[in-house]
Amino acid sequence: MLITRQHHPDNLETPAHALLETLTPAHYVRSHFAVPALDAAEFRLKVAGQVASPLSLSLAELRALPATTHVLTLECAGNGRVYLTPKASGVQWEVGAVGTAQWTGVPLRTLLERAGVADNAREVVLVGADEGQMDDPVKSPGHIYYSRSLPLSKALDNVLLAYEMNGEALTPAHGAPLRAIVPGWYGMAAVKWLTEIRVIDHAYQGYFQTVDYARWERQDGLPPVRVPLSEMRVKSQILTPAPHACVQAGEELELCGAAWTGGERTVQRVEVSTDGGQSWQDAEWQQDAAPGVWRHWHLSWTPQQPGEVKLLSRATDSAGQVQPAAHDPHRGSYEVHHIVAVPVTVKAKQEHKEKS
């Protein structure tokens, strides 16, 4: 049911039609290295660094702590990369490197409070058990573990250490036995096969937030600086009709899609154009707004004239951020959230139907 974009490691995308449901029946998989062999019985999560009392917890101890359940949308920071021109290297995701699941686990805050975060703590590094050599775009120094940091404020806010996905034990492909879930952030922060949490007193400059999964930002008129990717950007996708679909003039159909944004924001508006951007109409929502979760939208459309039509959608979030018309080169091959046209062909009314 998933589309294979890469084998070894597996990078699997959800087909567009499966994104029309609130919980994604087959959630995308983004891996950097082979799935590590972790024995759940032997598993320990270490919490160390700038803390008063380092911890080492078994899965049973983690499961014995008060649990939280969240429905959350994760989007891979490279989702939509196939729409970039010129072509960018990397996994050629179309629309399906995004999905929504129900995650159950222990709040990261619970463990940080138990360990006693020191006054000089600034970031929390999440280290996975998956490891290997990166060669592109810059060679890593031999084998490295996948790792990512969070600002302490985010780590203490709403990050989850999940051991269940949709009410069942996590599968190996999704990070079993333990995975970080970082609401409102791109998926690269949701470290899989999580084995260590390290509190540090400075900004972490690991491979996956400097060389990879980083963007450029201009600050104070200086040359651009490298900034780790973090919160998802406001985005909408048209899911039906499919690109290059044929539709019938004079026949009503439903334009459907999903929209989401990052941080604590919610997506507030989706406008749709059926004439390549000359005019726009507000779509209707299928769900209420909640931070960290997508909303499905729909709009009824009766094409009038035969011909080629470009369908567009444009989302606006609660901070007033709007999907841009073009991709921002500062974001490299990530954060692809500009408006992407879906071309469809409107066929003339079938004459035999009119005659009957």
The answer to whether 33 contacts a second copy (rule: CB under 8 A) is no
The answer to whether 224 contacts a second copy (rule: CB under 8 A) is yes
Do 148 and 30 meet the contact criterion of CB atoms below 8 Å apart?
no
The answer to whether 211 contacts a second copy (rule: CB under 8 A) is yes
Please count the other Cβ atoms lying within 10 Å of the Cβ belonging to residue 101. 20
Instruction: Pick one of 198, 235, 298, 314: the residue that binds a second copy (CB under 8 A).
Output: 198
The answer to whether 127 contacts a second copy (rule: CB under 8 A) is yes
The answer to whether 51 contacts a second copy (rule: CB under 8 A) is no
| Structure tokens belonging to residue 190 | 């949701």
Instruction: Pick one of 210, 248, 318, 345: the residue that binds a second copy (CB under 8 A).
Output: 210
The answer to whether 85 contacts a second copy (rule: CB under 8 A) is no
DSSP 279-305: S-EE-EESS---TTS-EEEEEEE---S
- The amino acid at 137: P
**Which range binds a second copy by CB under 8 A, 35-43, 131-139, 169-177, 246-254?**
131-139
Instruction: Pick one of 226, 244, 347, 349: the residue that binds a second copy (CB under 8 A).
Output: 226
| Structure tokens belonging to residue 301 | 């459309």
Locate tokens 């009709």: which residue?
Answer: 241
The answer to whether 248 contacts a second copy (rule: CB under 8 A) is no
The answer to whether 34 contacts a second copy (rule: CB under 8 A) is no
Q: Distance (Å, rounded) from C-alpha 222 to C-alpha 216? A: 12
The answer to whether 31 contacts a second copy (rule: CB under 8 A) is no
The partner residues of 91 in beta bridges, in order of sequence, read none
The answer to whether 142 contacts a second copy (rule: CB under 8 A) is yes
Q: Distance (Å, rounded) from C-alpha 291 to C-alpha 333? A: 25
Do 78 and 229 meet the contact criterion of CB atoms below 8 Å apart?
no
Kindly identify the residues of this chain, within the stretch 265-324, that bind a second copy according to CB under 8 A: none
Instruction: Pick one of 168, 220, 288, 354: the residue that binds a second copy (CB under 8 A).
Output: 220
Q: Distance (Å, rounded) from C-alpha 14 to C-alpha 34? A: 20
Locate tokens 């490298």: which residue?
Answer: 226
Q: Which is nearer to a second copy, 274 or 333 (CB)?
A: 333
Q: Which is nearer to a second copy, 207 or 260 (CB)?
A: 207
Instruction: Pick one of 137, 172, 320, 343: the residue that binds a second copy (CB under 8 A).
Output: 137
Q: For residue 75, give the nearest of 88, 94, 60 by alpha carbon.
A: 94
The answer to whether 252 contacts a second copy (rule: CB under 8 A) is no
Q: For residue 161, give the nearest of 35, 44, 68, 292 by alpha carbon.
A: 68
Residues that bind a second copy (CB under 8 A): 49, 125, 127, 137-142, 144-147, 198, 200, 203-207, 210-211, 214, 216, 220, 222-227, 329-330, 332
